Amino acid sequence: MGKDEQYMNKKSLQVKIGKLTLKNPVMGASGTFGYGVEYKKFFSLGDIGGFVTKGLSIEPRKGNPGPRIKETPCGLINSIGLENIGVDAFLGSVIPQLRDIDTKIIVNIFGTEMEEYVELARRLNKLKRIDGLEMNISCPNVKAGGAEFGKDPLVVQTITRKVRDETDKALIVKLSPMVTSIIDIAISAQRGGADAVSIANTYPAMAIDIKSGAPFLGAKSGGLSGPAIKPVTLKLVYDTYGRIDIPIIGVGGISTVEDIIEYALAGASAVQAGTANFINPCATPQLVKQLDKYLSDAGIQQFKSLIGSAFR
Amino acid sequence: MKLTHNGIVTSIERIKRDYILLSVRIDDPPVFNPGQFMMIQISDAPNSYDPLLLRPFSIFREHNRVYEFLIKVVGRGTQAIADFRNGRRILVTGPYGNGFPAIVTPHPVIAAGGAGIASVFAFVQQLHSKGIAYELLYGARTSGELILPELMKQYNPLISTDDGSRGYHGRLTGLLKTRIKNNSTIVACGPMPMLKSVKDIAVRHGIKCYLSLEARMACGFGVCLGCTIFDVEGNTKRVCKEGPVFDAREVSFGRQADKDH
């Protein structure tokens, strides 16, 4: 086998998230990837490591009044308000369209009460096609529950344990960046039985329309994403690495292959690209290709050898 | 059909003070329906991500693999486009959205207010080339603000100006009232207050009416949910996916419409 072929060997990109083996570390982030099916017309979903669906609740939600988005320098504030089709429609109309897709499918779940998370986990656990659950305990766009769950270590441990008891799937907890100590919250998720943590969600943010003098967004405030937040979330990953035994999935402003490398060096075992999908729907498969080339050019045999190397 | 394209800017023509006509060559040209739109990359990514998002524009015209977009310069993004240089390589995605319905006979009346001409023009062209009779009503505040009057001439527009400097003196909707018949179908694009009046006229006369809406959107293909509107029944509709062309009966002109204009 020639040197190039050796590096092209898919195993070089493989990573493990709990019991899940991802063919590569690049996933699409929740809230930017629809239910996956929307991307079928752009590329083969089998090219990416996995994707996380739009946050799903038991009942469908219509979301917030507009305007719902505001561009900021290198960033995007959104206040979608967790609009989603609800679990019944997801099981009935989306899952059949995902049957033949050769990638890991992670369903993001949220509720305003613990019992909703538990019920969602119970219902989704029966589905073979779903590989994992990501608990959103951190969205700034719902007033009840949501972010509040994510701020109290004991609550995080309890809710994670309750969901853990209902599911055999890989269980990921998506953390809020707006907490006193993200390490404490990550430890709580681990104690609750999580297989991994996603660090992190968007940052509470707003814009004011100086002509009207009122908040720009219909919901007044939202969550900031995009390249603007990358250095901030990168530090949260760096701070948490080594303090927990479960893998970290880096989520925050990833747009280039260099961003992926930085997150890996900081301690992320895998990454999710979010806002980048809006500015190029083929962002995720392109990142996989660029990552493969990057490793090969740098003579790095295994992506996973990079994880946390900034500490060495 | 491929939905992501490498485009090359072939010209930026300034039309009046705040309009430009952007031409982009796409070597793998997609088929589109009039009323559909494409997303245009503005930033110099990956070197710069500012302005971050692509911007949606109706396809104004296409010939020989060159797609034209008539753009009103209103903010940072559109100003950055106005400053593009020929030869710039940009990502273009789409076409997205539904476009205008194929059949609007027997008596299509197309009402374009101001920049609204950008989204209905391809439709007018299509009717024209198919030899289908139509009426084009084209309104602006003043004759000086009419965009591309020479190009429009061949489509025999009935002009309205708010100040009476050309054509019908008054609002476009005033002119519209004088032109519709029982069998008309209205197709309209323009500012929200105008579209609201157009809908009222259509409802009062019990005639079919389609409105092309504008919205802020991040993706253009239905995943960001940034452009979601609530219809008259309170159901969610994505302007990029279920629209941008809606049956006027579905469109609710609530608080949102007031806020945007």
Answer whether A167's CB lies under 8 Å from A124's CB: yes
- Among chain A residues, CA nearest to B46: A256
Please name the residues between 179 and 218 in chain B that touch chain A, using a CB distance below 8 Å.
Answer: 215-218
Find the helix packing angle between A257-266 and A230-240, rounded to 10°: 30
pTM of the model: 0.94
**Residue A285: cis peptide before it, omega within 30 degrees of 0:** no
Element (H, E) at A218: none
pLDDT digits (tens, 9 = 90+) for A206-255: 999 999 999 999 999 999 999 999 999 999 999 999 999 999 999 999 99
The two three-digit tokens of residue B53, written as one number = 């998002």
- Taking the alpha carbons of A21, A25, A31, A33 in that order, is the dihedral positive or negative? negative
Mutation pick from A37, A71, A258 vs chain B, by most beta carbons of B within 10 Å, is: A71
Answer whether B152's CB lies under 8 Å from B65's CB: no
Inspect the interface and report whether the beta carbons of B218 and A41 lie closer than 8 Å.
no
Residue closest to A66 by CA, chosen among A220, A264, A257: A220
Q: What is the DSSP letter of B145?
A: G
Answer whether A216's CB lies under 8 Å from A235's CB: no
Query: Alpha-carbon distance B35 to B54, whole Å?
Result: 18
Query: Alpha-carbon distance B222 to B209, whole Å?
Result: 24
Contacts of A83 in chain B (CB under 8 A): 225, 228, 236
Query: Alpha-carbon distance B228 to B218, whole Å?
Result: 11
* pLDDT at residue B243 tops 70: yes
CATH number of the A3-63+83-208+224-311 domain: 3.20.20.70
The two three-digit tokens of residue A179, written as one number = 């907490």
Residue-wise pLDDT tens for chain A (312 aa)? 344 444 344 689 999 999 999 999 999 999 999 999 999 999 999 999 999 999 999 999 999 999 999 999 999 999 999 999 999 999 999 999 999 999 999 999 999 888 999 999 999 999 999 999 999 997 555 555 555 678 899 999 999 999 999 999 999 999 999 999 999 999 999 999 999 999 999 999 999 999 999 999 999 999 999 999 999 999 999 999 999 999 999 999 999 999 999 999 999 999 999 999 999 999 999 999 999 999 999 999 999 999 999 997
